[in-house]
Structure 1
Amino acid sequence: MKKEVLLAFNELVEDRQLSKEVILEALQSGLVTAYRKTVGASSAQFVEARINFEKGQVAIFAEKEVVEDVQDDRTEVLLSEARQVDPEAELGDMVVVESTPEDFGRVAAQTARQVIQQRIREAERQIQYEYFGNLVGEVVSGVVQAVTPGYATIGMDKKAEGQMLRKDMIPNERLHTHDRIRCLLYEVKETNRGPQIYLSRAHKNFLKRLLENEVPEIYHGVVEIRSIAREPGYRAKVAVSATQQGIDPVGACVGVRGVRIQAIVRELNDEKIDVIEWNNDAAAFISKALSPAKVVGVFLSENEEDLNTATVVVPEDQLSLAIGSNGQNARLAAKLTGWRIDIKSLVEAAADAVRKLQEDPAYAEMAEREAEAQQKVAIMLEKKDEGRPLPPEDYTFMTKFINRVEKRVEEKMREENLEEKRRYDAARATVPELAYEINILDVDLKEHILVILQGAGIDTLGDLVLQVRLNPDRILGLNGIGPKTFEQIQALTDGLRVSPEEAVSVDDAQTEEIPAIEEILEAVPVDVDEPVVETPVQEEVELVEPVAPVKPEPVEKEKEEEPEDDFDKLFTYDAAKYGYYEPEKAIFDDDEEEQIKPTKKKKRKKPRPQLDDPDPWDGW
């Protein structure tokens, strides 16, 4: 019996590929469940199962209360039996004693079977999830078990199954049952039915991992993969660079007589792979990325708002090769380099250059210098339109002419970019650094205006000031901001400027009262060329909490009086001031102070709007 139990246990461990501890825990849990169902024990009662593989025995131990007379043998035990387990047991104590029912082996085998299987399945799923979760991004191998129109099922280690969706398969590749294939494991999801494993042979990282496996220089970091562009099953481009001098990155990837790259090509169902050396110079890199086509010239146009565009000029006989079948070569080159590529033939580029000189006023000066060359190119283009052949020297002349014109375009754009940068730096220098620490929602403007500005990407007061000085039309063009609101914003931002004059005046009078943030917002604008050095004003202002300031109504300063008189005049109501009447003659007595001043009780009331102040006509 003991040998049969031990053999069955070891066979279960080997079959399920689980550890002995996991199987033992599942068996014990199943036996405990079987005991509870057999005797009807409560789930709150402590019950444990112990398995002795050497003797082939199973025992159940349950916690029971020590009593003199047993009423319920499921939860109670006699004192004499309890002291056999614990000699110091007393009445009312709780002890754990053996409670194995008779003929428990047959009953447990039937009742605990489902529980044990469920626990083993849960353990298998958890081990599978942890194992394959660590393999995300790596190449794994498996056997094709089934192929459907939507996906293929791949059998893997740990008795797991992976799915390869149709979009993750290489087009035109036929998978057959029992074929062993390699795939990239790119995602693992945990579900109620076990881990969901997703595989791919069309992912660009699959090509990257294959290169690392086949090329030792890439695996050891001597050669680095900088970029990959791939259309599965058709063509791929890989940009590589060497991290050490004297290493040929392209030769290392290709191998002797192409042995290394051919092994990858066969794995990818004869997919063509172009290995290109990466270059810091964007023009040279784009030229190589369009291989096998020969490029005459590459002219870059950088734009922060739109994609960077590269105009590539190729000979007429290389135009179709540069574009590729259905634009494939140009598309892959654009993905590889990150540039938008516009390919033109030499004749088309020459025609565009002539048109720029004739129509664009910005090229008037250059048109005068290139008048003779422009006429020659125009004659060449007429011959080309008529279908007449051109000698090689004419193509060379057109190439130089295009280079001169396009280089002038690049120089002009660089000048515009430098001018824009100078303009930005000049505007940035006039914005106080403190303004960038104030949240836009704390500025003294209407709440809905602040929400509109924040939605436009303006997060601080400094951003608002800078945007108004660089491009005020953008603020005015926001939906919900009209001319009146823009005038308020402009009045607010004009008062925020770094002023050397103000800095000097503060240095000379350090004992003067330092203005609060609301006074800084109303400061008179002063143009400066450079930001002021940090002054005591900035240090003091940094202590001010950035909250929306509440501006009190201006009160005219009078001569020094007693504090009580100042308090009285603060709440004095003048009806003539607000247009309720015009005093033509004195109505009250000669005591003018009694006409206006409220009583002593009323002047201590909480300040309220003017209409709630005491009416001077009361008592008339």
Structure 2
Amino acid sequence: MANKEILLVAEVFSNEKEIDKEVVFQAIESALETATIKRHVNQIRARVSIDRKTGDYSTYRQWEVVAANDEVDGDVEFPTTQILLDVAQFDDPNAQVGDIIEEEIDSVDFGRIAAQTAKQVIIHKVREAERKKIVEAYQARVGELITGIVKRIEKGSVYLDLGGHIEAFIAKEDMIPREPVRIGDRIRGYLKDVRLEPRGPQLFVSRTAPELLIALFRLEVPEVGEGMISVMGAARDPGSRAKIAVKSNDPRLDPVGACVGMRGSRVQSVTNELSGERVDIILWNPSEAQFVINAMSPAEIQSIVVDEDKHSMDLAVNTENLSQAIGRGGQNVRLATQLTGWELNVIDASKAEKNSEAEAEKITQMFIDQLDVDADIAAILAEVGFNSVEEIAYVPVSEMLEIEGFDEDLVNELKSRAKDALLIIAIAAEEKRETATPAQDLLEMEGMDNDLAYDLASDGVITMEDLAEQSIDDVLKFSGMTEERAARLIMKAREPWFAEAKTK
């Protein structure tokens, strides 16, 4: 059946909606199939095929080839849409179960089909195509800055009109706290995700993501956009304060000054866009300790102690600057932690100095006792960074010769005494281990082995109760111990505590 009207409809919809003609043809085929099925009293299956060049179309009734169903006396369960294999093979010997058998039938007139049904099907298909087109267009823009006009506000969430009947969604938790937003306002956001959902394409935008801060600097600072300055990271307390780390790829360029701009114009533009959020621009440094010191700005750090194993740093600050270093509600140190990736602990410099002096005295006294040296030599060893007799025993001679006033004879004597001290300590520990006897409950505890039980006992941990009072670090020092096993053993030892608490 020929119908030039079909070609006209496909042309009009394709041009108006800017979608592929194939999508419109498929929609018309679906509408004709629906009309064909409705024309029959019984539910049938139908397929319509339109010639894309002439507009001619043909209609076919379909049956699925099935095996005999014993539950319905060897017949098919749905006679209007199914056909037995034996019957199908009369016309087509190659027919198999699951095949579709077709027979051409009279087509409905395109001009007389239910107009509403055709319209709904076509509009539905067109909308699906439009949604897919939007998703494809914006999928490549994830991670970019987008601008829209506030269309509506619902329970703190905001819908943006991006133009072309495209909406973006900013969830309440992605909005800057207490930010005054009104319908009609033009705002920017960071496109973090694009998903095709049943209600249409959803463009998820954030106003709180650190990436938004980076994108704004890329927009406001040409040197960042051109790659002359690299942004190494950002951390935010949305609406209150933020820190951004930058480094220059051109030794002649001051990255902090470029980001601040003339009289602070560039950073002020970013602050205005983020509802007054104060931004600290931090100079990135390849030395992690120096980077942390920079990140703690404007607080001045007196000294820093790095713990590589725990990936943490202790920062000593003068008493009068302590509150500034920590920040309101711990904001400054929290942002610096997020920016650098290190766990930062701010401590009072005077207390740190006292603790350091006490630790130095303790180490000095240990060297006096175990190496049988005078206080001056012991103090020098502690001052240059030695913390144990074992370090002195096995450190290369060349390193110790770098200590001012130390000659080869003195170094060799110290190393010899250190090895003797280690031997004495090992013998004493073995004797203590042999005489120390763990309690029966510790020996029989789940997860415990005999050697570990005796090692614990030699260290004064005799019973399960003793083990329950230990920390993970206390137990980690034993040979072959892992953090996971230490935690498991301690929790097992504490089970009686929990049982007792439940009975109260």
In 1: Cα distance, 2:374 partner to 2:347 partner: 22
1:106-145 equivalence runs, <5 A: 106-145=112-151
* Matched AA of 1:48: S
What corresponds to 1:298 in structure 2? 303
Which of 127, 152, 161 is the equivalent residue of 1:155?
161
Q: Secondary structure at the match of 2:298?
A: coil
Q: 1:362-391: per-residue Cα shift (whole Å, max 9, x none)?
A: 6776995599xxxxxxxxxxxxxxxxxxxx
Once the two structures are TM-superposed, the CA of residue 258 in structure 1 deviates from its matched residue by 2.4
- Secondary structure class of the residue paired with 1:22: helix
- 1:226 and 1:278 in contact (8 A); partners too: yes
Mapped partners of 1:120, 1:418: distance in 2: 80
35 and 472 in structure 1: CA distance in 2 versus 1, 3 angstrom threshold: closer
The equivalent residue for 1:222 is 228
1:338 aligned partner: 341
Question: Which amino acid is the alignment partner of residue 62 of structure 1?
Answer: T
- 1:189 maps to a residue whose letter is R
Aligned match of 1:351 in 351, 354, 357?
A: 354
Residue of structure 1 equivalent to 2:58: 61
Distance 1:105 1:362 in 2: 105
Deviation of the 1:240 alpha carbon: 1.0
Which of residues 178, 182, 186 is equivalent to 1:176? 182
In structure 2, the gaps of 5 or more residues are 62-100, 397-446, 448-477, 490-504
Aligned pairs for 1:208-357 within 5 A: 208-295=214-301, 297-304=302-309, 306-314=310-318, 316-357=319-360
**Structure 1 position 234, deviation (Å):** 0.8
SS in 2 for 1:105: helix
Spell out, residue by residue over 1:338-368, the C-alpha distance to the aligned partner (whole angstroms, 9 max, x if none): 2222323443333333433455566776995
CA distance, structure 2, for counterparts of residue 328 and residue 224 of structure 1 = 25
Amino acid at match of 2:57: I
Shift of 1:207: 0.9
Name the structure 2 match of 1:398: none
The Cα shift of 1:261 comes to 1.8
Distance 1:419 1:43 in 2: 92
Alpha-carbon distance change, 276 to 139 in structure 1, aligned in 2, over 3 angstroms: same
* Larger RCO, structures 1/2 (Cα 8 Å, 6+ apart): 2
> What is the Cα deviation at residue 268 of structure 1?
0.7
Q: Which AA in structure 1 matches 2:48? A: V
- How far does the alpha carbon of each residue in 1:522-576 deviate from its partner, in whole angstroms, 9 at most, with x for none? xxxxxxxxxxxxxxxxxxxxxxxxxxxxxxxxxxxxxxxxxxxxxxxxxxxxxxx
Task: Give, in whole Å, the separation in 1 of the partners of 2:208 and 2:223.
Answer: 24
Partner of 1:463: none
Say yes or no: does 1:199 pair with 2:196: no
Instruction: Measure the CA separation in 2 of the matches of 1:184 and 1:108.
Output: 46
Query: Displacement, 1:252?
Result: 2.3
CA deviation vs aligned residue, 1:199-239 (integer Å, no higher than 9, x gap): 11000111111122222222232211112111111111111
- The answer to whether the aligner puts 1:472 opposite 2:472 as a matched pair is no
Contact 2:4 2:55 in 1 (8 A): no
Give secondary structure in 2 for the equivalent of 1:152.
strand
TM superposition score normalised by structure 2: 0.60
Structure 2 Cα separation of the partners of residues 322 and 11 of structure 1? 67
Partner amino acid, structure 1, of 2:337: A
How far is 1:288 from its partner?
A: 1.5
Length, aligned pairs only: 367
Q: Which one-letter code corresponds to 2:324 in the other structure?
A: L
Query: CA–CA distance in 2 between the matches of 1:291 and 1:347?
Result: 20
* 1:144 aligned partner, one-letter code: V
SS in 2 for 1:294: coil
The alpha carbon displacement at 1:99 in A equals 5.0
The percent identity for this pair of structures is 32
Structure of greater Rg: 1
Deviations 1:48-85 (A, max 9, x none): 23588xxxx96532369xxxxxxxxxxxxxxxxxxxxx
Q: What is the RMSD of the two structures over their aligned residues, measured on CA atoms?
A: 4.5
Amino acid in the other structure paired with 2:215? R
Q: Quote the Cα distance in structure 2 between the aligned partners of 1:204 and 1:48.
A: 53
What SS is found at the alignment partner of 1:189? strand
Whichever residue aligns with residue 411 of structure 1, its letter is G
Relative to 1, partners in 2 of residues 1:334 and 1:410: Cα closer, same or farther, differing over 3 Å? farther
- Seen in structure 2, the aligned counterparts of structure 1 residues 409 and 58 have a Cα distance that, compared at 3 Å, is farther
Conserved 8 A contact 2:234-2:244: yes
Q: The residue matched to 2:178 in structure 1 has which SS?
A: coil
Task: Rate the CA distance shift 1:41–1:143 in 2: closer, same or farther, 3 A.
Answer: farther
TM-score norm. by structure 1 comes to 0.50
- Measure the CA separation in 2 of the matches of 1:419 and 1:234: 54
Superposition pairs of residues 292-441 of structure 1, within 5 angstroms: 292-295=298-301, 297-304=302-309, 306-314=310-318, 316-358=319-361, 368=375, 411-412=385-386
**Matched position secondary structure for 1:411:** coil
Contact kept, 8 Å, 1:233 with 1:268, in 2: the verdict is: yes
Residue 387 of structure 1: aligned partner: none
Which ranges in structure 1 are unaligned for 5 or more consecutive residues?
65-93, 372-403, 423-448, 450-469, 481-620
- Maintained 8 Å contact 1:31/1:49: no
How far apart are 1:313 and its partner, in Å? 2.8
Q: What letter corresponds to residue 116 of structure 1 in structure 2? A: I
User: Residue 472 of structure 1 aligns to which amino acid in structure 2?
Assistant: G
- Per the TM alignment, residue 109 of structure 1 is displaced from its structure 2 partner at its CA by 1.5
Q: Shift of residue 3 of structure 1?
A: 12
Q: CA deviation at 1:173?
A: 0.4
Aligned counterparts of 1:41 and 1:17: Cα–Cα separation in 2? 38
Q: Does 1:25 align with 2:46?
A: no
| Aligned residue in 2 for 1:47 | 48
Kept in 2: contact 1:151–1:164 (CA 8 A): yes
Write the distance in 1 (CA, Å) between the matches of 2:233 and 2:30. Answer: 53
Whole-Å separation in 2 of the counterparts to 1:321 and 1:478? 37
Secondary structure in 2 aligned to 1:163?
A: strand
Cα deviation, residue 479, structure 1: 6.9
Q: How far apart in 1 are the matches of 2:4 and 2:269?
A: 52
Q: Deviations for 1:316-342, whole angstroms, at most 9, x for unmatched residues?
A: 332222222222112111222222223
